[in-house]
Structure 1
């Protein structure tokens, strides 16, 4: 799905403020010599302050999106995946903190890193489309 945020009177896609490209761009603009998310993950392992700060900021946007989704549809578990899953606890922990801070009452929601591939969304969409097509075909009348 696509989520929007209002920032200074402009709507922005979540991906445009917290996606992989933004993470890498922000890291490079702050002087980090990186090429991909794995490089940032390596810097996190050394407790690089700049990398930690950037990931925490990105996680805060993702956390805000997650808590909004929780309040709208009420899942018991939320999975965070894709290319950023390699960031591990450095990404997931700030998201969990935001979620626990803004849950209602005794509501409990588990936030976990996905263990499936980053192609899961595309695979899920293909399965959904195939299922819908088969449902349609199974209800059509056959004339001989």
Structure 2
């Protein structure tokens, strides 16, 4: 959001945090290729030799399953690094983590917060918390945005 509007940029994909490049083992990797839920599910399957739901992965993470903790903690670090970059670029002070990441709980959130606090160049208050909208955050945000535009008469419906 920029000035109360969804900011798309010139080509329509501005703000795609998953498209940030991060240096990983002498390569550049997209954040979504490191932390996307499909990637996490595949890596967990390789580690545990079975399919697991995100809820089960979250439960085992909270319980302290070492291989799962190592993977999810690494993911939290990558996301934390990306958040620091976004904060520096846009001066963001409120960050909501949504989607399936909510199943990873406070430990996951704390790892990201710790990294942001450690590397934030200009020290200021930054709030990082889970969204209470769950998996429907994006659709609900789009719906609210559309309703606001309609009510502000910024969407015109041609009648025949």
TM-score normalised by length of structure 2: 0.74
Unaligned runs of 5+ in 1: none
Alignment of 1:1-144 (within 5 A): 1-3=15-17, 4-7=20-23, 10=28, 12=30, 14-132=31-149, 134-137=153-156
Unaligned runs of 5+ in 2: 1-14
Q: 1:72 deviation in Å?
A: 1.3
Q: 1:88 deviation in Å?
A: 0.6
Is residue 62–residue 104 contact of structure 2 (8 Å, CA) maintained in 1?
no
Q: 1:85 deviation in Å?
A: 0.7
Q: 1:47 to 1:9 in 2, by over 3 A?
A: closer
Q: 1:41 to 1:108 in 2, by over 3 A?
A: same
**What secondary structure does 2:135 align onto?**
coil
* C-alpha distance in 2 between matches for 1:82 and 1:74: 23
CA-atom RMSD in angstroms: 2.5
Residue correspondences, number: 139
The structure whose Rg is larger is 1
TM-score normalised by length of structure 1: 0.82
